A and B are shown apart, each in its own frame.
Chain A
Amino acid sequence: MNPVAVSPSRLLTIEDDPVLGAYLHEQLGRCGFDVIWCQNGLEGLARARQEHFDVVLMDILLPGMNGLQVLTQLRQTHALPVILMSALGAEADRISGFQLGADDYLPKPFSMAELRVRIQAILRRVALDRMPGAPTVQELPPAESGLLFDDEACDVRRGEQWAGLTRSEFRLLDTLQRNADEVLSKAFLYQQVLQRGYAAHDRSLDMHISQIRRKLKTIGYYQHEVRTVWGKGYVLSASDAP
Chain B
Amino acid sequence: MSLVPAMPRKVPGKNSVFWKLACLLVVFCLLMIWLSWSWGRYMDKRTGFLSEQAHGTLVRYAGEAERAWESAQQAGVDQWLQGMGHREPGWVGVIGQDLQSLSSYPLSDRESERLTFLRGLDWPISHIKTARPWIKVPFPRDPSAGSLVIELPQRFMPGRSQVIWRIVTNGVIPGLLTLLLCVGLYRVLIVPLNHLREQANAWRADQLGARLSSQITSRQDELGELARAFDQMSERLQSTVSQQQQLLRDLSHELRTPLSRLRVACDSEQGGEALRERLGREVDGMQRLVEDTLQLAWLDAERGPLPVEDIQVQALWEMLTENARFESGWPQSRLPCLVDEHCWVRGHLNSLAQAMENILRNAIRHSPPEGIVSLDGRREGNMWHLWLDDQGAGVAPEELERIFAPFTRLDGSRPGDGGFGLGLSIARNALRLQGGSLWAENHGGGLRVHVRLLAGHAA
Q: Name A residues whose Cβ lies closer than 8 Å to a Cβ of B.
A: 89-92, 107, 109, 166, 200-204, 206-207, 209-211, 213-214, 228, 230
Contacts and interface: CB of A to CB of B under 8 A. Distances in A.
Q: Which 5 A-B pairs have the closest CB atoms?
A: A210-B319, A203-B353, A210-B315, A206-B319, A210-B318
Interface residues of B, number: 23
A203 B311 CA distance: 12
A220 B295 CA distance: 41
Contacts, number: 48
Contact of A109 (B287, B295, B322, B351): B287
B316 to A, nearest CB: 7
Nearest to A87: B290
16 contacts: A89-B294, A90-B294, A90-B298, A201-B350, A203-B319, A203-B353, A203-B354, A206-B319, A206-B353, A207-B315, A210-B316, A210-B318, A211-B315, A214-B315, A214-B318, A228-B326
B408 interface: no
B7 interface: no
B312 interface: yes
A200 B350 CA distance: 10
Most chain B CB neighbours (cut-off 10 Å) among A201, A209, A228: A201
A230 B323 CA distance: 9
A91 B349 CA distance: 15
A213 B318 contact: yes
Nearest to B341: A214
A201 B354 contact: yes
Interface in B176-206: none
Given A201-B354, A214-B314, A207 B294 contact: no
A207 B319 contact: yes
A214 B291 CA distance: 32
Contacts of A206: 319, 353
A196 to B, nearest CB: 13
Nearest to B354: A201
B459 A166 contact: yes
Given A90-B298, A91-B298, A202-B350, A207 B316 contact: yes
B311 A230 contact: no
A202 B319 CA distance: 13
A207 B459 contact: no
Interface in B307-327: 311-312, 314-316, 318-319, 322, 326
Given A109-B287, A166-B459, A203-B354, 11 more contacts: A89-B291, A90-B298, A200-B291, A201-B351, A201-B354, A202-B350, A203-B349, A209-B319, A210-B316, A210-B319, A230-B326
A206 B326 CA distance: 14
A67 B294 CA distance: 22
A214 B312 CA distance: 11
A91 B300 CA distance: 13
B215 to A, nearest CB: 43
Given A214-B314, A214-B318, A207 B287 contact: no
A203 B350 contact: yes
Contacts of B291: 89, 107, 200
A211 B350 CA distance: 16
Nearest to B315: A210
Contacts of B295: 201
A15 B163 CA distance: 92
A201 B351 CA distance: 8
Nearest to B297: A90
B349 A207 contact: yes
Nearest to B357: A203
Contacts of A213: 318
Nearest to B321: A210
A31 B17 CA distance: 75
Interface string B35-62: 0000000000000000000000000000
Given A90-B298, A91-B298, A203-B350, A228 B315 contact: no
Contacts of B341: 214
Contacts of A207: 311, 315-316, 319, 349, 353
Nearest to B298: A91
B221 to A, nearest CB: 40
Contacts of A107: 291
Interface string B329-367: 000000000000100000001110110000000000000
A183 B173 CA distance: 97
Contact of B349 (A92, A166, A204): A204
Contacts of B294: 89-90
Interface in B263-319: 283, 287, 290-291, 294-295, 298, 311-312, 314-316, 318-319
A91 B326 CA distance: 28
A205 to B, nearest CB: 10
Interface in B443-459: 459
Contacts of B312: 211
Nearest to A109: B287
Given A201-B350, A207-B311, A228 B287 contact: no
A206 B352 CA distance: 13
A162 B145 CA distance: 136
A201 B298 CA distance: 13
A206 B357 CA distance: 13
Nearest to B353: A203
Contacts of A204: 349-350
Find the residue from B283, B290, B298, B350 having the highest chain A CB count within 10 A: B350
Nearest to B312: A211
Contacts of A210: 315-316, 318-319, 322
Contacts of A166: 459
Contacts of A230: 326
A206 B311 CA distance: 13
Contacts of B322: 210, 228
A85 to B, nearest CB: 15
A90 B298 CA distance: 7
A84 to B, nearest CB: 17
Contacts of B349: 203-204, 207
A207 B354 CA distance: 12
Nearest to B314: A214
